[in-house]
Amino acid sequence: MMKNQLAGLMKQAQAMQDNMKKAQEQLALIEVEGVAGAGLVKVVMTCKNDVKRVTIDPSLLADDKDMLEDLVAAAMNDAVRKAAATSEEKMGGLTAGMALPPGFKMPF
């Protein structure tokens, strides 16, 4: 009896590992956009935090360098938050029903 239960658990663990790998591959394809300065600076990145492009409105190029740097940083932070939220949402379904401690983060 115990042997069958262990085999069942191993099978479930393997299926979960396969599902997590597929979900991580999908996250690498999902793009999010971070914006700052009412859309004057935009950063597009994947949910694996690979930056795909940065767009800066030409009107900012003649402005204060410090302000432009702040807007780029704000757009990056916005994109990172959106990527994290999307990743958590996509991966949350895989960990539903597992007895994980509160605040536990899976390695993704």
Q: What is the pLDDT of residues 41-79, one digit of tens each?
A: 999 999 999 999 999 999 999 878 999 999 999 999 999
Distance (Å, whole) CA 87 – CA 4: 34
Q: Which tokens go with 19?
A: 């599902």
DSSP letter for each residue of 17-43: HHHHHHHHHHHTT-EEEEEETTTTEEE
pLDDT at position 7 is 83
Domain boundaries, the chain: 29-93
Right CATH for 29-93 from 3.40.50.720, 3.40.50.300, 3.40.50.620, 3.30.1310.10: 3.30.1310.10
pLDDT tens-digit series, residues 16-32: 888 888 988 999 999 99
In whole angstroms, what is the distance from residue 88 CA to residue 11 CA? 24
Per-residue confidence (pLDDT) for residue 108, from 0 to 100: 46
